[in-house]
Structure 1
Amino acid sequence: MTQIYQVAMPFTILFESAKPVLEINGDVSQMLFGESFEIKEQDGPFVRGVSKEDKAEGWMHSDALTDQSWLPTHFVSALWAPVFPHAGHKNWAMLNFPFLSRIEVDAEKEKGDYAFIPVLRGYIHKNHIEPLAALKGNKKLVADTAQRFIEAPYQLGGRTIAGIDGTGLIQMATTRAGYECPRSTTEQQMKLGTKIEFSDVETGDLFYTKDHAGIMLDKDSAIWANPNTMSVEIASITDIAGDPALAIFKSLEK
């Protein structure tokens, strides 16, 4: 019998097995605070399951999860948002949430510019969050969101400003723009958008090569997470793909 839990840490790793090692040999990912995880199997302190948000599968430590469920009302719109024990900036943060974490706020207990998070009994600045309803289809936000991650370090499997990979960058940007986005390269190519010719590329379209993925900023340049420089950066699509004709381009609108 499966059980649904929620991530109770700012973010946590989805490992390949119940005996995690630092070397990555397969598909890995991360899950963010407030995302739901369906447990299918347990092996000691580790549980195997699937993310209800993006269907990524893997193993995580059970300490990262809670059965104390809450109904998210908002998402974190800042790349890194501090949560304080009291309303006001003159406090040390209890913890920090990455972009797109899901939280519930109690409007009746807000104090000035700070929203109250009941499950943590903490406060987050209203400028760092937005209602979940703001996650709606807006292709312009894809490129804009991706560029906020410029100079973030590359991390295979990463989904946060602390470290992110190519498909993670696409997922964060498209999710913010209101599109449902799978985690893996294969699933993204199959389910996200419509294939287009290079000559039809516009800002916010996606590209995939044999080894890389990213978001087009115009017909010549793209933003991507570069494993060679270990950084999110802007580069010529020719420099990334070699021959653009060998890349797959996807439009979210067509």
Structure 2
Amino acid sequence: MSIYACNLSIVPLRAESSHRSEIVSQVLFGENFEILEEGIDFTRIRLLESKYEGWIQKHQFAPVILAGVNKNVIVDIYGAKATSDSRTVNLLHGTAITGNTLNIGEEHYTIVGALRETTLADFETEFPKLIQYYVNTPYMWGGRSIFGIDCSGFSQVVYRHFGVSLLRDAYQQAESGITVDFLTEIKAGDLAFFDNEAGKITHVGVMIDSETIIHASGRVRIDKMDSQGIFNAELNRYTHNLRIVKRYF
């Protein structure tokens, strides 16, 4: 199986092979995938880590030699750069780093900047930094970065900061973890999931404490949460109906 990787900071992953098609997610620099189908301007791919599928535009990736993915090092919130003889790519928080150098296609990149060895040991000091970094980030369906992020993309990148892998969508994330039975038992970092009128999980947020949640809705925002759901003080009403709370570490 041939392996490929994104060679730009972040690019759209679309539902169909068209620029007008819905962005279902995004692909970060160096993220590995396999090709499922070749189109004229787009290529259908499957990401190796998350198994997520979609269409990526040609010329936004190149072949890569998969030498084993190091899941323990990512780009920190302060950013990094990948530099070759002919280009420089700005790397976003959460980008996985496999080593100090990386070959994608004909480019030999050197990685320089703020890198983080992921661990849960510093959760108490790092989690508040993530809150401050992402708060007021604009909501974008399919987004995975500070330039635009959706609810499950936000929970995913927060957990990646501490070395915990989550699947891409909220309903997928809700399928794992341990249920927290009582709201008073909620701890910082627990994920709260919310459903629609049909009972389908459509939203997720990260608990700051047993009564406060940070989530992406319009923007990354901090709201109060109780047994009914998320209460938006600006709108003076509940906006999301609580379904379940899960713990992953």
TM-score, length of structure 2 as denominator length: 0.78
Conserved in 2, the CA contact under 8 Å of 1:55 and 1:183?
A: no
State the SS of the aligned residue for 2:134: coil
Q: Residues 116-174 of structure 1: CA distance to partner in whole angstroms, max 9, x if unpaired? A: 6674555623xx113xxx22445826844641211211111000111111100100011
Distance 1:67 1:122, change over 3 A: same
Q: Residues 4-59 of structure 1: CA distance to partner in whole angstroms, max 9, x if unpaired? A: 2111111111100112316x3xx700010111011111111211121112221111
2:222 is equivalent to residue 226 of structure 1: no
Q: Which runs of no fewer than 5 residues in structure 2 stay unpaired? A: 196-201
Match of residue 118, structure 2, among 101, 122, 135: 135
Which letter maps to 2:178?
A: T
Which letter maps to 2:192?
A: F
How many Å separate the matches in 1 of 2:75 and 2:238? 36
Higher strand share goes to which structure?
2
Which letter maps to 1:40?
A: L
Conserved in 1, the CA contact under 8 Å of 2:190 and 2:248?
A: yes
Question: 1:77-226, aligned counterparts within 5 Å?
Answer: 77-83=76-82, 94-106=88-100, 119-122=107-110, 124-125=112-113, 128-130=114-116, 134-138=117-121, 140=123, 143-144=127-128, 146-147=130-131, 148-191=133-176, 193-197=177-181, 198-210=183-195, 211-226=202-217
How many Å separate the matches in 2 of 1:204 and 1:105? 28
Greater shift, 213-222 or 67-76, is seen at 67-76
Q: Which runs of no fewer than 5 residues in structure 1 stay unpaired? A: 87-92, 107-115
Aligned length: 225
Higher helix share goes to which structure?
1
Which letter maps to 2:88?
A: M
Give the equivalent residue in structure 2 for 1:113.
none
Which letter maps to 1:62?
A: K
Residue identity (%): 24
How many Å separate the matches in 2 of 1:167 and 1:246? 15
Shift of 1:103: 3.5
Shift of 1:70: 5.9
